[in-house]
Structure 1
Amino acid sequence: MLRTIRPLILIALLLATPVLAQPEQNSKPAAEEISAQSVNARLTKARALTVRSETWLSTAEPAQLAGLRQQLALSRKLEVAYRGQLTALNRNEALRQDLALQQSILAGDFRRQLPQPPYNLSEYDRLLDELDAGTQQQKTARTALAIETSAIDENLALIARLKQELRALKDAGSATESVELSLELAEANLARHKLVKANAQLELELAETKSELATRKLDWARERLAYDAADLNAQLRNLADRRAALLSQQEALSESLARLENEWRPVQQQLEAGGQDALLAEALLKEFEFKRQARQKQLEQIESRLQFLNQIELIWQHRYALLKQRPPLATLQQWIKEQAVLVSSLDRQFELVLSEQKALQPQMASLSQDLNLANQSGAVKTHRENALMALNEQINRGIEYLTALKATQTLAQRYGAELSSERKHLRPGDVLAQGWAFARKIWQTELWVIDDHPVTVSKVIIALIILVVGTIFAKRLLLRVIKRLESSTGMSKNSISIVSNAVYYFTLLVVVLFTLKTVRIPLTAFTFLGGALAIGVGFGAQNLLSNFISGFIIMMEQPIRIGDQVEVDGKVGVIKEIGARCTRVQTFENIDILVPNSVFLEKSIVNRSKADKLYRAKIAVGVAYGSDTRLVESLLNQIAREHSQVLRDPEPFVLFQAFGASTLDFELFVWLKLDDVGKVPSELRHRINEVFAEHGVEIAFNQLDVHLKG
């Protein structure tokens, strides 16, 4: 059994050996697998095949033409693929040499490639250009790597499909020449893509090495930058020369555009009169439109470039100012804002010009198609060629303008980076200045605008401070006025209250007017508030305003006065203070009640002090059934007359009011002074109880008699 299995195992190992060895071969770099000599040999064969195909095609039968043409196309493509391999191999060798050179420079002393310090901004910008170029080359190399990787995958899939197709044809005994040639082309393209991918990897390494070298040079030069008046003046002279050249171009273009308009008027009149060939008229119109469009657009671009030159001049002056002496923080922040606005404007302009350039491409294609039309006269063709030239000129000027915009963008971005770097290095005084600037910004923040008069945070705070101080002053003035009037005049308390309130509110009015004057808000600014104020009063402030107005009416008409004894909602008290919004009433229980002023005008109020100072008190007494009613009446009159504080005029009197459920009800009426209302009725009740007890008169209470029937 073992002898039978051993030969089978050996055969399986022999068959598996090529498969296992294949990954090792594919793992080698493409540049090492392919040599220029082998590629040249394949190219010679492909060229010979192309020559044979061209010869056979000239003498072939009609039935063979299709196959020969396909073979010729494939052989030509195969030539292109092998030539691409040769180009990639040559490029690979050059890249390796460049990479080795750059790595040796990076490993050595890079400073030998730089001039002696100090450095000016022009030399610094040259180093920045090197870094930007290296960064852009890295992006391009990574993009190429991604593209070639995708192309390699596609060719591998194509090769697998062609091999499968070739095996099927061989099994069927069919012709395989075309598929074999296609397979050779796919394998040649695969090898070319591998070579190009290897070159892209070398280009990426070369770009990274250059970027690293440029970064080291920049770091070295940045620490040794110095103010260079000669370089600044050279840059300014260069800008002045460019400005003069642009102004000259602008003048020439303006004259050219004017001449074009003058030349077009008679042609336009002829076209309007008719009689012209339709194609000729259309060609003339397009020529004029494209020429005018090109000149107008170029004029706009020149005007824009002149504006950007002014910005570039400021940028160079500011950049050297940063080197010479650091500006104040406020100036630095202002430059940062201006730089941000400039970059935003440049970005928008760049996007606009790009979109305009894209829009010109369909017009270019349409004009090119018109030129290739048959049956057109020489004049029509000439006008179309002129229109195409004008469009080409506009495209070229647009590209030139984009280049200028990109250069300005780069300079502005470098300027912004320098400003940001300078802002990070704050000095101790800068922190305070920055805090002060922030506080000033908040202080001057505009909250709203009234009749073109801004109301800022500062005005609101100042107004509040003046109002608070003014209110405190008004209250102190009020107290001094009250004391002065009470001590030096014989005015009543009510008159003193009226005068003091008038002084207080007049002082508040003066404070408000002074506040508005101080914060520079005129009274006319509040005229527009009339409608809004009316609505606010109607809905939210009507009660407050009603009480306020009622307070002034009470002070003027004086239906009540300080010291008056009033009865409000069943509660009796003495008026202690009449304010603008409410009146303070103190009850006999020494409780203060704040009554809205409108209550005294809208409701029925009992003012016991309005007519005179007398008050009729009523004392109710109930005696038991069976008591002598005449005796009770006589005793009550006697008690009233004996009390010293009961007035004799009007005389007291007694009324037998009713036969109650359990008592005979009497009422004693006496007249008292208002000041005695609180205590005299109580003393009278004590006396009634004593006298009734002496005379055997029983003061009854509620009782219930129950009679039971047997």
Structure 2
Amino acid sequence: MSMPAFAHRGILLICVLLAAIVAMPTSRGDSGSPPEAAAKTELTADIVSERRAAVQNELAAARAALAKLPEGQQQEAGLWLTQETALLERIESVFAEDLRTLQHAADLAAEAATVEQRLKNRRPADEYLPLPHNLQQLDQLYAERDYLDEAIATLKEDVSNAAEALQEARDVREDRDRERRTAREALGTARDPVKAQRQLRIAELESRLAQETVQLRETALRTLRFQQSLLGPKSELLRPNLEWLRANVVITDEDVAAVRATREKRLADVEAALIAARADAEKTSLAVVQIERRPPSEVSVEELSSRRADRQLASRVVAVLTAERDYLKERETVAQLRRRVLNGSALSTEMRNWEAENRVRLERLERDRLLQRAELTKTRRELQDLQARVTGTNGNAISPGPWVSERMQRLAAWHALNSSERAEVQGLKAERLRLKEELAGHVGSISVDEVVELAKRSVIAGWDYEVFSVQDQPVRVKTVLAVIAIVFSGHWLCRRLSELAAAVVFRRLGMNTGRRAAWQTLSFYGLFSIVVLAALGMFHLSLTQFSVVSGALAVGLGFGSQNLLSNFISGVILLIERPVSKGDVIELDGQQVTVEKLGPRSTIVRSRDNIHMIVPNSRLLEQSVVNWTLTDDIVRRKIAVGVAYGSPTRQVDKILREVLASVERVCPQPAPSVTFVDFGADALVFEALFYCEVDDRVEVETELRHRINEAFVRAGIVMAFPQRDMHLDTSRPLQIEVLHPELRSEPKRK
């Protein structure tokens, strides 16, 4: 084997031996070693008491030695004895705490035995729970259940903290053991053996204190874990009883009256306190006013600030008492809801509504609780700061005048009031949590009647839902639907009433068709305007509100809707002046049309070819329009008749007059006439002039032409037609040439 390999293995062997020596436990016979053997032994109250007694003896001896020290040696030796005494006192306190922890563990062991016995001999809830099975007993079980739930969460955190504390204690023990071993090693080489011995004594006591602290932390951790293990069985025993009692609770009038009397007494106390707080707030405000009226030289800035703070605090006291009164009333309401849920008199629909409302209130109570905690912290800090200023511990002392003591009293009372309010909030929150749990157990499937009731309430809720508001007045869904119904039904009714008025009233007044149509439209507009105003009244709108924006509205409409407004206003003018009415025959663009409808924006006309045209109303006013039936529906028509030259003209005139008189639809007045108007190129031209209704003009003209032709045939009068006379020059023979077809395209040149 080579030398480097041998040296390497030798180094490894030395390292292993050193590690074994370091890991080897210290000799039990060493007087300075801690009692580690005892640490591995299970502690009992007797062992801890013996150790405590031994420490107390050591403590008494140290105190006696400190008292017997000569005056010259008190400065140096007394310092060491004082440190030793302090360490022994701390060790003694650790033993005392250890005894309390062991006693707690013993109590838990007894409780565990009881719980185990109850689990083995479990009885039904109706036999285990004492009578009466009322609401107070149910609340007591709720409180026990809440305590167990809270304890589970708290002990989980406590166990975690205890484990961390144990680890810290073990780390400290290692440090103190290291210091003890170092002090023991330094004793053999010390130049001052007395001082080294004293340092070793202090190091041993600190190591002993660390060891006892580790034992205390271990005992505490075992106790907490043991206590934590009991919570599950306790909850297992409690919950069946709670479920049974919640389903079989008996609520009597006596119990309700007793609880109500207690709450009414509490409410009366709060009302009395509220009256006193209001009086105190007024008194405090007057005091501040009096101080403010003093000359500036007589007023202390701190006193004025304190008095103003008192005034603000007095107002807040009134607000807190008012809130506390409301909490009490709310608790009574919650109690009534709980009674209805528990006795089964509440419908599922009601309980669903209560569940939603209860959820909102729980969130609000949680916010109130956080605000109260912040207020308590602020008040406590202010009170402590004021006490420190009075005592001068913060270096900024103030004179303890009457306003200072009064301020401290107010802060203390305010702190107590906040604590009371917080308790009320906690109680109300507990009541609502119980209501939430009871509602969750009863809200399930619902019957057909409850479905109908729920649908009815939903419809009513939707019917009363506020869509928007006008002048701080709500406009609900029912209002909007009512307005829509009124507008549509009013439109239909106004249309029917205007038609009825045109058919009955206006006809009896002797109005023609056009006037009846115009008045029918105007009456419709008037009636519908009343309907619209009534609808606006349901929206809480008035005409004065429209006058505010009428100017801006007119400008906007003037620029954006010029043609629309022009046609609308023209339609109104047409209805009022009636230059054109329904049924009139007018002439537009060279053709005769009949007016069928006058609308607010346009007029509908129909031509003879049954073609409907939409004419803007403004065109009927801005352009010249020929109205054939403006005053009446009688028009003059004429028929031109041409007879051959040589015909008896007077006989023709007579025949034409007889024919005009024979047609019934020709108006006798004005009388028809016949005019010999011209010697035409091909005929003698006569014109038969007559009057007829405008609607009959085409039929009358056709009938007259038939009869004129028949009369002329009977009288042998020839109707003229175009003729051409050709005159031939016969002074020389006519030249006739026959041309070849090919030569016909070109004329022969002479």
| TM-score by shorter chain over 0.5 | yes
RMSD (Å), alpha carbons = 5.8
Instruction: Give the secondary-structure state (helix, strand or coil) at the position aligned to 1:564.
Output: strand
Residue matched to 1:499 = 519
Go from structure 1 to structure 2 and tell me whether the alpha carbon gap of 1:56 and 1:513 turns closer, same or farther (over 3 Å shift): same
Amino acid of the residue matched to residue 499 of structure 1? W
Q: Distance in 1 between matches of 2:423 and 2:531?
A: 65
Contact 1:453 1:525 in 2 (8 A): no
Q: Distance in 2 between matches of 1:488 and 1:413?
A: 79
- Structure 1 residue 387, shift from structure 2 partner: 6.9
- Structure 1 residue 441, shift from structure 2 partner: 1.5
Matched, 1:224 2:248: yes
Q: Distance in 1 between matches of 2:580 and 2:264?
A: 89
Of 104, 128, 135, 1:113 maps to 128
Residue matched to 2:227 = 203
Matches within 5 A, 1:154-553: 154-160=168-174, 177=200, 181-244=205-268, 304-323=323-342, 326-327=345-346, 350-369=369-388, 372=391, 392=412, 394-418=414-438, 421-422=441-442, 424=444, 426-476=446-496, 494-513=514-533, 515=535, 530=550, 533-534=553-554, 537-538=557-558, 541-553=561-573
- Structure 1, 30-39 or 92-101: larger mean CA deviation: 30-39
Contact 1:448 1:455 in 2 (8 A): yes
Go from structure 1 to structure 2 and tell me whether the alpha carbon gap of 1:304 and 1:478 turns closer, same or farther (over 3 Å shift): closer
Matched, 1:97 2:101: no
Contact 2:463 2:478 in 1 (8 A): yes
Matched, 1:87 2:109: no
Residue matched to 1:144 = 158
Residue matched to 1:597 = 617
CA deviation profile, 1:346-404 (whole Å, cap 9, x unmatched): 556555543443233234434544565599x9x96999778766655554454344334
- Structure 1 residue 304, shift from structure 2 partner: 5.0
Amino acid of the residue matched to residue 106 of structure 2? E
- Structure 1 residue 482, shift from structure 2 partner: 7.0
Matches within 5 A, 1:608-687: none
Q: Distance in 2 between matches of 1:556 and 1:396?
A: 83
Q: Distance in 2 between matches of 1:202 and 1:322?
A: 39
Q: Distance in 2 between matches of 1:645 and 1:159?
A: 149
Amino acid of the residue matched to residue 474 of structure 2? P
- Structure 1 residue 220, shift from structure 2 partner: 0.8
Residue matched to 1:583 = 603
Residue matched to 2:589 = 567
CA deviation profile, 1:502-537 (whole Å, cap 9, x unmatched): 243334334435555778866666555645644653
Number of corresponding residues: 613
- Structure 1 residue 221, shift from structure 2 partner: 0.5
Residue matched to 2:741 = none
Could you list the runs of 5+ residues in structure 1 that have no partner in the other structure?
Answer: 22-29, 616-637, 650-673, 677-689, 696-710
Contact 1:286 1:384 in 2 (8 A): no
Residue matched to 2:141 = 127
Q: Distance in 2 between matches of 1:452 and 1:645?
A: 85
Q: Distance in 2 between matches of 1:644 and 1:473?
A: 63
Amino acid of the residue matched to residue 436 of structure 1? K
Q: Distance in 2 between matches of 1:344 and 1:50?
A: 57
Go from structure 1 to structure 2 and tell me whether the alpha carbon gap of 1:66 and 1:32 turns closer, same or farther (over 3 Å shift): closer
Q: Distance in 1 between matches of 2:685 and 2:556?
A: 56
Q: Distance in 1 between matches of 2:479 and 2:285?
A: 59
Q: Distance in 1 between matches of 2:463 and 2:357?
A: 23
Of 553, 574, 580, 1:554 maps to 574
Contact 2:66 2:78 in 1 (8 A): yes
Q: Distance in 2 between matches of 1:601 and 1:162?
A: 116
Contact 1:130 1:211 in 2 (8 A): no
Go from structure 1 to structure 2 and tell me whether the alpha carbon gap of 1:297 and 1:493 turns closer, same or farther (over 3 Å shift): closer
CA deviation profile, 1:49-72 (whole Å, cap 9, x unmatched): 545655666645645666655554
Q: Distance in 2 between matches of 1:644 and 1:102?
A: 142
Instruction: Give the secondary-structure state (helix, strand or coil) at the position aligned to 1:326.
Output: coil
Instruction: Give the secondary-structure state (helix, strand or coil) at the position aligned to 1:223.
Output: helix
Contact 1:485 1:491 in 2 (8 A): no
Contact 2:335 2:431 in 1 (8 A): no
What's the % identity of the aligned pairs? 22
Go from structure 1 to structure 2 and tell me whether the alpha carbon gap of 1:286 and 1:217 turns closer, same or farther (over 3 Å shift): farther
Residue matched to 1:708 = none
Instruction: Give the secondary-structure state (helix, strand or coil) at the position aligned to 1:226.
Output: coil
Go from structure 1 to structure 2 and tell me whether the alpha carbon gap of 1:598 and 1:171 turns closer, same or farther (over 3 Å shift): farther
Go from structure 1 to structure 2 and tell me whether the alpha carbon gap of 1:213 and 1:547 turns closer, same or farther (over 3 Å shift): farther
Go from structure 1 to structure 2 and tell me whether the alpha carbon gap of 1:422 and 1:186 turns closer, same or farther (over 3 Å shift): same
Go from structure 1 to structure 2 and tell me whether the alpha carbon gap of 1:246 and 1:591 turns closer, same or farther (over 3 Å shift): closer
CA deviation profile, 1:580-610 (whole Å, cap 9, x unmatched): 11123556775544333234445x5675969
- Structure 1 residue 237, shift from structure 2 partner: 2.6
Contact 2:522 2:575 in 1 (8 A): no
Go from structure 1 to structure 2 and tell me whether the alpha carbon gap of 1:200 and 1:542 turns closer, same or farther (over 3 Å shift): farther
- Structure 1, 299-308 or 492-501: larger mean CA deviation: 299-308
CA deviation profile, 1:57-108 (whole Å, cap 9, x unmatched): 6645645666655554444333333333332222222212212312332441
- Structure 1 residue 199, shift from structure 2 partner: 1.8
TM-score, reference length from structure 2: 0.64
Go from structure 1 to structure 2 and tell me whether the alpha carbon gap of 1:293 and 1:565 turns closer, same or farther (over 3 Å shift): closer
- Structure 1 residue 556, shift from structure 2 partner: 3.8
| CA radius of gyration, larger in | 2
- Structure 1 residue 219, shift from structure 2 partner: 0.4
Contact 1:563 1:574 in 2 (8 A): yes
Amino acid of the residue matched to residue 566 of structure 1? L
Contact 2:463 2:476 in 1 (8 A): yes
Matches within 5 A, 1:16-27: none
Residue matched to 1:706 = none
CA deviation profile, 1:615-672 (whole Å, cap 9, x unmatched): 9xxxxxxxxxxxxxxxxxxxxxx9x9769999899xxxxxxxxxxxxxxxxxxxxxxx
Go from structure 1 to structure 2 and tell me whether the alpha carbon gap of 1:522 and 1:327 turns closer, same or farther (over 3 Å shift): farther
Amino acid of the residue matched to residue 450 of structure 2? D
Contact 1:31 1:195 in 2 (8 A): no
Q: Distance in 1 between matches of 2:329 and 2:174?
A: 63
Contact 1:329 1:434 in 2 (8 A): no
Could you list the runs of 5+ residues in structure 2 that have no partner in the other structure?
Answer: 26-38, 191-195, 639-677, 690-696, 700-721, 728-750
Q: Distance in 1 between matches of 2:283 and 2:493?
A: 80
Q: Distance in 2 between matches of 1:401 and 1:614?
A: 104
Amino acid of the residue matched to residue 151 of structure 1? A
Contact 2:97 2:216 in 1 (8 A): yes
Instruction: Give the secondary-structure state (helix, strand or coil) at the position aligned to 1:195.
Output: helix
Q: Distance in 2 between matches of 1:31 and 1:544?
A: 105
Go from structure 1 to structure 2 and tell me whether the alpha carbon gap of 1:644 and 1:190 turns closer, same or farther (over 3 Å shift): farther
